């Protein structure tokens, strides 16, 4: 699916990368027992951490997969690494009663230095997902894919794969519909040119239609980095099997959780429980693969 779009996107990446990827100038964390490293198909080393509900970076050896109801595979935003987003990962772990697995892209944190690209972001999240399912032996039915801002692009790309139909669901916070729509107002570009430019970088609006599990989109109505219209485009492109009512909240790009703490938390929890219910309904015997999350 989307092979042509991906090729166009990769050809253009070298020109776009300096504008699209703004990794922290200094790594915000150091090597510690809570870190794991995985390798992508392209040979890049990717730093991975596991955050529990107490905010601890949990060493791989301490994870009891059978006792954990949920794992969130989280892709962070453009200017973060897994150190700067530790508190946010803790917040998500508490909110969803989960272990949050987050990772750094190429040139972020302690991952391989070099040039970040759309392709190696996609390879990174795929390597982390394979590590979760093949090394940790986490059932795909216990995995929720979550992305924030730029991190929604690899999240959508992975969730759109044919082999992802058994994951629990997808949570997207402040997503971009495509690279161009994140930065260029519609009125400034003719529609035929805009449709072409969508394919140049992170064409999430095309990939998202292939997802077949529930997708929850949350976006700030006053977002001054990625206009809320991006979320509306993505919600409009969802397949009926994936549709879950989007949530548009008062806030900008990085403060919707802070401005709407109770609403954000309760709505995310409701979504997770809906995902478990949907998953149980798909089983012939009516029994779920996992239990509903208790809050």
CA distance 72 to 275: 13
Q: State residue 288's pLDDT score.
A: 40
pLDDT-derived band at 15 (thresholds 50, 70, 90) equals low
Q: For residues 295 and 293, give the distance between their C-alpha atoms in angstroms, rounded to a whole number.
A: 6
For residue 46, what are the CA distances in angstroms to 104, 110, 199?
A: 6, 7, 26
Q: Long-range pairs for 183-188 at CB < 8 Å and ≥24 separation? A: 185/227, 186/229
The more confident residue out of 9 and 233 is: 233
Please tell me the least confidently modeled range out of 16-25, 128-137, 189-198, 238-247: 189-198
Task: Pick the closest to residue 106 from 94, 93, 117, 90 (CA basis).
Answer: 117
Residues 156 and 160: their CA atoms lie apart, in Å, by 6
| pTM score | 0.89
CA–CA dist 88, 121 (Å, integer): 20
d(CA 184, CA 193): 12
Q: Answer yes or no: is pLDDT of 292 > 70.
A: no
**Residues annotated catalytic, as ranges:** 149, 223, 253
Two structure tokens written together for 269: 């929890």
pLDDT at 11 over 50: no
Per-residue pLDDT of 158-203, as tens digits, reads 999 999 999 999 999 999 998 777 766 555 555 666 666 767 778 9
pLDDT of 130 above 70: yes
């Amino acid at each position: 699916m989307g092979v042509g779009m991906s090729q166009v996107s990769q050809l253009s990446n070298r020109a776009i990368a300096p504008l699209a990827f703004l990794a922290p100038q200094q790594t915000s964390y150091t090597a510690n027992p809570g870190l794991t490293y995985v390798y992508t198909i392209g040979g890049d080393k990717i730093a991975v951490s596991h955050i529990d509900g107490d905010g601890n970076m949990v060493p791989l050896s301490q994870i009891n997969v059978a006792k954990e109801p949920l794992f969130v595979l989280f892709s962070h935003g453009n200017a973060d690494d897994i150190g700067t987003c530790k508190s946010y990962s803790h917040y998500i772990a508490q909110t969803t009663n989960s272990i949050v697995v987050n990772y750094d892209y190429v040139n972020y944190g302690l991952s391989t230095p070099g040039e970040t690209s759309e392709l190696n972001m996609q390879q990174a999240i795929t390597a982390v997902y394979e590590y979760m399912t093949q090394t940790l032996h986490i059932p795909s039915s216990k995995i929720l894919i979550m992305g924030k801002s730029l991190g929604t692009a690899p999240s959508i790309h992975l969730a759109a794969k044919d082999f992802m139909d058994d994951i629990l669901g997808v949570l997207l916070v402040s997503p971009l519909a495509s690279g161009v729509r994140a930065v260029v107002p519609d009125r400034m570009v003719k529609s035929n040119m805009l449709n072409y430019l969508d394919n140049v970088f992170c064409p999430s609006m095309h990939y998202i239609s292939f997802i077949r599990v529930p997708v929850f989109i949350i976006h700030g109505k006053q977002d001054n980095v990625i206009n809320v219209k991006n979320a509306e485009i993505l919600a409009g492109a969802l397949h009926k099997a994936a549709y879950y009512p989007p949530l548009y909240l008062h806030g900008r790009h990085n403060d919707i959780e802070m401005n709407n703490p109770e609403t954000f938390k309760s709505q995310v929890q409701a979504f997770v429980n809906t995902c478990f219910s949907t998953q149980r309904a798909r089983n012939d015997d009516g029994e779920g693969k996992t239990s509903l999350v208790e809050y």
